[in-house]
Chain A
Amino acid sequence: MSGVQESSKIRLAAVKSLYNALDFAQTNFDNEMERNYIMKVVCETAVSKEPEIRQAAFECLVSIASMYYEILGPYMEVLFDLTSNAVKGDEESVALQAVEFWSSICDMEIQIQDEFEGADDRSSEGHHQFIKRALPILVPMLLETLLKQEEDQDQDDSIWNLSMAGGTCLGLVAKTVGDEILPLVIPFVQGNIMKPDWRSREAATFAFGSILEGPSIEKLLPMVHSGLDFLLNAMKDPVSQVKDTTAWTLGRIFEILHSSNSEYQVVTPGNLQRIISVLLEGIREAPNVSEKICGAIYFLAQGYEDTESNSSVLTPYLGEIISALLLTTDRTDVSNSKLRSSAYETLNEIVRCSQIPETANMIAQLLGEIMTRLNKNVELQTSSSDEKEKQSDLQALLCGVLQVIIQKLCGSDNTKLIFLQAADQMMTLFLRVFACHSSTVHEEAMLAIGSFAYGTGHEFAKYMPEFYNYLNMGLQNFEEYQVCSISVGVVGDICRAMDDKVLPYCDGIVSNLLKNLSNSMLHRSVKAPIFSCFGDIALAIGEQFEKYIPYVMPMLQGASEICANLDNSDEDMLEYGNQLRRGIFEAYSGILQGFKTSKAELMMPFASHLLQFTEAVFRDTSRDDTVTKAAVAVIGDLADALGPSVKLLLKNTSFHVHFLGECFNSEDDQLKETALWTQGMIGRVLAS
């Protein structure tokens, strides 16, 4: 790599293998001499004659920045010179890596700051504040890159150039240092935003949009206040690229600074009307601009989500906004589906953040429109697989909107009626969506069914005969585990909606669930929810769950053994173990409560095992809070359901006393409440 005489091919291969070896070089980096040597060679290579080799060397530096951040101190001066020369004068492929080096340093420092937030300075010793120290030179360097835009870069997703990388890095720098970036950037914005050259105006706007996250709202607010009007005017800029960045910046302002609950208001009654009219005009611009405008509307609406009154200032404009979004979904001048899905997603957020009941009529109308669209979609005869895919994509978006509308309408008794009136027709549509697909069920339609069942309650029974087949198809679809997972969740929703009316369907459902548990091909994230689902079924059908006991209990016991043997050093396995434990406890809880009135004694043979398992979980320090809550609850359920029969078992072990003690010391009030209940149940048994 350092040899002069080797051919460039060999040297390139050497740099690439160093890059691949960095992961395993911890011991070399721990040793100062070896470290110095590696750094010296990499830095020398970064100024090789061949651009490919320089690029590879910078790739190494990017990796070193994130892997060995803590030892970079002594080399930073050299690295700063190397990277700034590359950014200013080298070929773009090399310059991009040089910018990426600084982005990686930002990533590291943001991560360190997040970890030590609120702690005193001593605990953040590993924080070198490289960005803060480099700021006066780093920021001007990045600002310069912003002026190197390509024409039409916004219309092609595959482009990644120096101005894009520079702007992104500038955003990260702002996140890292906060307020300190403002005096370095604001003069650039002011100096360029009025220039006749569009590159200057776009760069100024992009710089402004990039630094909105990081600095304090107090410092930003006056600037945003004075800049907002300018930005709204800039939506009329003759150059599309300026409009694109302006729309994006408006979205950023709403996303980061706009909340109706904040004491600082960016959007006021005075400027709201103008904002809306600019957005509604802008949404008709070129597709890439329109998409950014959708984002701006999305975040504008989101800011009113937690509005304190039950009336939103946005309400008078919602009709116009919804029609504009619907028109946007119908646009034919688009090359891909991004704009359409952005518009539907924005529609979803509009519905979520709207205030019921004042928008009830509007949402009812939208419901009708979406159902009409879905109806048109399922009527469509498709032949090619391309058409089928397009049809299915649109179904996903429409079912998504329906799901959000159902959830909204069912949130209040007054508006639930609107949902119930449309329920039959809606279910017909869902069934037709399912029928469009021969091999699988539609994920979004299934997701909507969950909310639907919650909304209809007992009435869901009338839809069940037809829906049942699709539910089973969903449960059997282990290849697409998201579909399977959502179907498992829907079983729970249906159980809670139908109660014991779900009984006739349980044989099929339970056998599919059992098959899934034994299927090694099924993604493991679905398995824990299946256990919880057994609990849901048992709670719904009560003593009728008896016939499943011989099949379900061995599964529960097997799973608890798996929990005991999981590799706790692996974070993913740890998470899986916790999910599994919670699932097991929720299954036991549901079964115990379901049997409580008549068949409790059936659980007696499992009581001792359950207590042992709970004790093992109690002693395992890796359990998370949700597991603790479920474990405490299950002890109470055991005492509640089995009563005096478990007196001896409870007397012979004392872990529950310590466990409850731990829960009472918790700061989680729900946990304390559950523990209090369990204590009452145990007390009752022990006093019997």
Chain B
Amino acid sequence: MAPHELRRTFKRTAISDQQRRRDLALLRQNQQRSDSQNRARRLASSVLALPDPSSPAEALVDLPDVVDVHPDLYLDPSSEPEAASPAGRHLDVVEASNLKGRTARHWFSRQLMLMEWMIDVPPSLDRDWYSPSRSDQSALENQLSKKVSGREEGAPRSKSGSPTEQPSPLPWQHATQDVEEHPGQKYVFARPSGKRCFVVSSNGTTVSRLRNGSVLHRFPSSLPNGARTKEISAASHVFCILDCIFHEPDQTYYVIDLICWRGYSLYDCSAEFRFFWLNSKLLETGACDLPSVYHRYRFSVVPVYECNQIGLQKAYTCGVTFAKDGLLFYNRHANYQAGNTPLALVWKDEFCSKYVLDTDGEGQVPIQQQVVLELQGTGKLTTHDDPPIVFGYLEREFFQKTGLQVGNLLRFSIMDESVRTVDGKLELGEIKFLGKANRFRAFADSYSKVFFQHTARHSPLQFMDLMASVDPSLHYENTEDSEMIG
């Protein structure tokens, strides 16, 4: 036996940096190896998104080519966002719940489904214009619709050729039982006014994060694994993710969508299933009970209606426990999709919202419409869309002189007289630089929001227009069309 080493490290200073460099290099190499192998796997299989295990992978073959045939002017290859698979996104959520600081904010700011603003009434609001009859095609359509979002808002949406399904009435909502005679493909509900947030319950605690990813509340709740009590805490793979709006006046989280429940992912489930699951599961937990020590905030569901005349009328006029901020339209077959999606739409007018027109920093509605755009490396000013829409340019000299940097969110005001609509597309013409946007902003405005704000100031889309679009007597042509193709 070797003699015992008596000397111990004494007043040790910095660790050996060389070993650290070796270890970091090894870590980087392993990461890059696994990245490039995964990339090979994805590309080779033409799988952009991990398919549902039950559906054959061929359904997604050659997606990139399909996308390429759209002759679009606005594609900016330099700012092409990474195509993360939806599965990868939600599978990381347990790890993500342990993230801290900037990384966490960055991750969570990209998880919410962002509704588009309704600029024009879709030809049949009560029909499901994107939902094809074959299920294997719906994934393809989803991918496609993601790619083209932000381009075709102005034009009427194309219909896919599918016979109208006869869906069964919603099993959980009494409110809808009297509207069975005209079932639709869309849901409508009043949007509670408040802070949109992402609520994650895991490891015995519940955390809500705002759209920009920053934490709103960290609290105990009766959601599964949402508090450290004997009844509620659970293994680490048990977690829930809810899409909520926090309504200040009654301190309640109104749940508008359910993304994961007890570790079971609902990303790839239809809105129909997600709402069903939400309504049946949330009540079981006691999350809707009044607040208590281990349940600091109450959760509540929002009444959801089928989007026909009766449903639309109810969503618009019926009294609810919260202040309304517009109406939300959900496509029944749409999966939950992080980022912008045209499969969920928001619309508002003065009757159902206090906030139809955007306000400036002081809470005043400015005389000229203002927009927030992102500065790109080339000086382009773009919206938050995929791909981004270019609304103007800044001279390089100008932004270098003012110390602006690529990625900055900048506020501009619009010269109303220079705004034009060309082929259904909005062009802003001259815009005036006002300054940097509020630092809490995570994203620029989306194209559809700018468009909606513009029309709201000039020729707003009226509730009557919506009602007209769901009038059964006006639908004959569309239905026939579908049937012919189907």
Contacts and interface: CB of A to CB of B under 8 A. Distances in A.
Interface stretch (A112-120, A223-231, A426-434, A676-684): A676-684
B14 A295 contact: yes
A400 B32 contact: no
Contact of B94 (A23, A292, A482, A669): A669
B405 interface: yes
Interface in B37-59: 37, 40-41, 44-45, 47, 50-51, 53, 56-58
Given A684-B58, A687-B56, A292 B44 contact: no
Nearest to B54: A683
Most chain A Cβ neighbours within 10 Å, of B3, B6, B87, B92: B6
A167 to B, nearest CB: 8
Interface residues of A, number: 87
Contacts of A160: 6-7, 10
B17 interface: yes
Contact of B44 (A103, A154, A597): A597
A103 B40 CA distance: 53
Classify the interface of chain A: helix, strand, loop or mixed. helix
Given A63-B4, A308-B102, A673-B88, A539 B40 contact: yes
Interface stretch (B22-30, B152-160, B240-248): B22-30
Most chain A Cβ neighbours within 10 Å, of B9, B13, B93, B406: B13
A313 interface: no
B95 interface: yes
B101 A680 contact: no
A100 B4 contact: yes
Interface stretch (A82-90, A342-350, A565-573): A342-350
Interface in A386-402: 396, 400
Contact of B14 (A346, A451, A589): A346
A594 B37 CA distance: 10
Contact of A400 (B21, B53, B100, B237): B21
B36 A539 contact: yes
Interface in A639-678: 640-641, 667, 669-670, 672-673, 676-677
Contacts of A248: 11, 13
Nearest to A107: B8
A23 to B, nearest CB: 5
A641 B43 CA distance: 12
B106 to A, nearest CB: 11
Contacts of B174: none
B33 interface: yes
A602 interface: no
A403 B13 contact: no
B292 interface: no
Given A96-B6, A295-B13, A633 B37 contact: yes
Contacts of B91: 669-670, 672-673
B236 interface: yes
Contact of B53 (A295, A586, A676): A676
A493 B53 CA distance: 34
Given A357-B405, A444-B18, A667-B237, A164 B101 contact: no
Contact of A680 (B1, B29, B57, B105): B57
Most chain A Cβ neighbours within 10 Å, of B24, B33, B53, B237: B33
A593 B14 contact: no
Interface in A263-315: 291-292, 294-295, 298-299, 306-310
Classify the interface of chain B: helix, strand, loop or mixed. helix
Given A396-B18, A489-B26, A535-B37, A640 B405 contact: no
B13 A291 contact: yes
A1 to B, nearest CB: 17
A244 B47 CA distance: 61
B103 to A, nearest CB: 8
Most chain B Cβ neighbours within 10 Å, of A59, A357, A593: A593
A589 B37 contact: yes
B56 A310 contact: no
Contacts of B1: 19-20, 22-23, 63
Interface in B66-86: none
Interface string B335-349: 000000000000000
A586 B6 CA distance: 44
A586 B91 CA distance: 23
Interface in A430-467: 444, 447, 450-451, 454
Contacts of A597: 44
A633 B35 CA distance: 13
Contacts of B57: 680-681, 683-684
Nearest to B42: A677
Interface string B155-182: 0000000000000000000000000000
Interface string B249-291: 0000000000000000000000000000000000000000000
A165 B11 CA distance: 11
B29 A493 contact: yes
Contacts of A414: 405-406
B4 A62 contact: yes
Most chain B Cβ neighbours within 10 Å, of A309, A672, A676, A679: A676
Interface string A102-130: 01000000000000000000000000000
A677 B9 CA distance: 49
B40 A681 contact: no
B44 A593 contact: yes
Contacts of B50: 673, 676-677, 680
B11 A245 contact: yes
Contacts of A527: none
A532 interface: yes
Nearest to B51: A680
Given A22-B1, A349-B14, A447-B25, A681 B7 contact: no
Contacts of B92: 669
Contacts of A154: 11
Contacts of A676: 50, 53, 87
A400 B18 contact: yes
A345 to B, nearest CB: 4
Contact of B41 (A295, A486, A492, A640): A640
A490 to B, nearest CB: 9
Contacts of A345: 14, 16-17
A451 B28 CA distance: 9
A175 interface: no
B101 A261 contact: yes
B111 to A, nearest CB: 14
B87 A454 contact: no
Contacts of B87: 673, 676
A97 B6 contact: yes
A637 interface: yes
A596 interface: yes
Interface of A: 19-20, 22-23, 59, 62-63, 96-97, 100, 103, 154, 160, 164-165, 167-168, 244-245, 248, 251, 261, 291-292, 294-295, 298-299, 306-310, 341-342, 344-346, 348-349, 357, 396, 400, 403-404, 407, 414, 444, 447, 450-451, 454, 482, 486, 489, 492-493, 496, 532, 535-536, 539, 586, 589-590, 593-594, 596-597, 633, 636-637, 640-641, 667, 669-670, 672-673, 676-677, 679-681, 683-684, 687
Given A298-B13, A308-B102, A640-B41, 15 more contacts: A22-B1, A100-B4, A168-B9, A261-B101, A306-B102, A344-B17, A539-B37, A586-B37, A593-B37, A596-B44, A633-B41, A641-B44, A667-B236, A680-B47, A687-B56
Report, nearest first, the 5 A-B pairs whose CB atoms are least far apart.
A295-B13, A308-B101, A345-B17, A593-B40, A669-B91
15 contacts: A59-B4, A97-B6, A165-B8, A168-B9, A294-B13, A298-B13, A444-B21, A482-B22, A489-B29, A667-B94, A669-B91, A669-B93, A670-B91, A681-B45, A683-B53
Interface of B: 1, 3-4, 6-11, 13-14, 16-18, 21-22, 24-26, 28-29, 32-33, 36-37, 40-41, 44-45, 47, 50-51, 53, 56-58, 87-88, 91-95, 100-102, 105, 236-237, 405-406
